[in-house]
A and B are shown apart, each in its own frame.
Chain A
């Protein structure tokens, strides 16, 4: 575990020293938040829209921005740089468990995910969004977003380790966009058309989004909160297992 933490620290330093890679992670989710609220805010006035629970439409949209912020997977692109530059082999030539190499990056992603989620949420608070579930809800909101970013980076790392190509890894990241739009992104699930509702119900991202939304709009409602955490736990375990498997077989 020590080696994973040492490598995690190095991955955080890498992110800190590449601010140009962090800026889009904050800017693009906030851009979508502003644009979506600007386009649909008048359709859903807070006083007469039941699903907003008295808040503005920005509060309903914040989970989409949080998920988007957690779905950049830049750590996987740094991994490709390590592979292409030979540093990955340098790490593989040390007597550390192979799992430490992937775990280090995932630990760093968790820490980075926490910081990004805090930044996006605090900006939301400044613009009048409130977290109805209070301080505990805020912590859960940040934790769930950060765990989602770990899942997503785990997925991106799989592509990076398999293809060893920055282009392929970058393209792999685009898979999130259809998943984000096959969710109750603009309205609750029961207001979607039947085919979209079925698609959203199958899509695991929906449950993460609904958990986040529940934490923002209503007090701690565990019926809506636990499915999101279950999704990240299951997907996280799958990604970790696949990452470990692929790095152990890496030639």
Chain B
């Protein structure tokens, strides 16, 4: 990793062609994620979060600009970049017909481990995500929280330097969400950089050292949660500390007007 930068993007652009014309999903994103931090990537639906993550994780071609993960250009040397990163996407990408153990061993084999090494690593990971008891059951019988934890484990098989988590707690109940948060903290505590996209501002507030907000395919805010709140308080002359929700609504051009208990969201 060069200069302690785990992930960087320069003028990252993604255009899709559709029948209606060209869709500009990402319009020049610049990012720098430092090694060892938990970086939050926030934005409303359709803002370009997942598209950006998919480009950074080599799953989507880049229209223009460049991206580096662990100092490796993801477009020029995708395989080297893939060895640097673990990826857990929005929907836990698991094969329901395999057992948890089989899935992790297979993942290890695909990262070049011998059968024996993959089996040993699998035991470690099953203990890490506390799925030893369910290890030999087929994944289709797992709960949503168990699937998420297994997905996390599978992203960690090759001990990546950087972990990409795309909305890891979407659709989980509060208890499962807290468990995933604990896992993320534990993984980060071991030195892994975490790049996390989420729609839950509380999650970002709890987990992230720094965050960026994307809207309309462009980064509209970047900083630590405290910096972003302080900036909003100062700029608007607020008397009380704003929440990350307020920062988000301000950054994405949306406001909340409260009238007699009603909460109405309107686009500015």
A residues with a Cβ closer than 8 A to B are 2-3, 6-7, 10, 13-14, 17-18, 82, 85-96, 251
Contacts and interface: CB of A to CB of B under 8 A. Distances in A.
B243 interface: no
Contact of B93 (A6, A18, A87, A251): A87
Q: Which of A3, A6, A7, A95 has the most CB of B within 10 A?
A: A95
A82 B97 CA distance: 11
B233 interface: no
B201 interface: no
Interface string B212-242: 0000000000000000000000000000000
Interface string B147-191: 000000010000000000000000000000000000000000000
Contacts, number: 69
A90 B93 contact: yes
A94 B106 CA distance: 11
Given A93-B59, A95-B79, A251-B60, A13 B154 contact: no
B243 to A, nearest CB: 32
A248 to B, nearest CB: 11
A91 B111 CA distance: 10
Interface of B: 57-61, 78-80, 82-83, 85, 87, 89-98, 102, 106-107, 109-112, 138, 154
Contact of B87 (A2, A82, A90): A90
Contacts of B59: 89, 92-93
A92 B91 CA distance: 15
Contacts of B138: 17
Contacts of A13: 97-98, 102
22 contacts: A3-B110, A6-B109, A6-B110, A10-B102, A10-B106, A13-B102, A14-B95, A14-B97, A17-B97, A85-B91, A85-B93, A85-B94, A86-B93, A88-B93, A89-B59, A90-B87, A90-B94, A90-B154, A92-B59, A93-B59, A94-B82, A95-B79
A164 B83 CA distance: 27
B89 A86 contact: yes
Contacts of B109: 2-3, 6
Contacts of A18: 97
Given A93-B82, A93-B87, A87 B110 contact: no
B141 to A, nearest CB: 13
Contacts of A90: 87, 89, 93-94, 107, 154
Nearest to A17: B97
A92 B111 CA distance: 12
Contacts of B57: 93
A11 to B, nearest CB: 10
A123 B109 CA distance: 38
A91 B106 CA distance: 10
B83 A95 contact: yes
A6 B106 contact: yes
A10 B95 contact: yes
Nearest to A249: B61
Contacts of B97: 13-14, 17-18
A233 B227 CA distance: 64
Contacts of A14: 95, 97
Contacts of A92: 58-59
B93 A89 contact: yes
A86 B91 contact: yes
Contacts of B154: 90
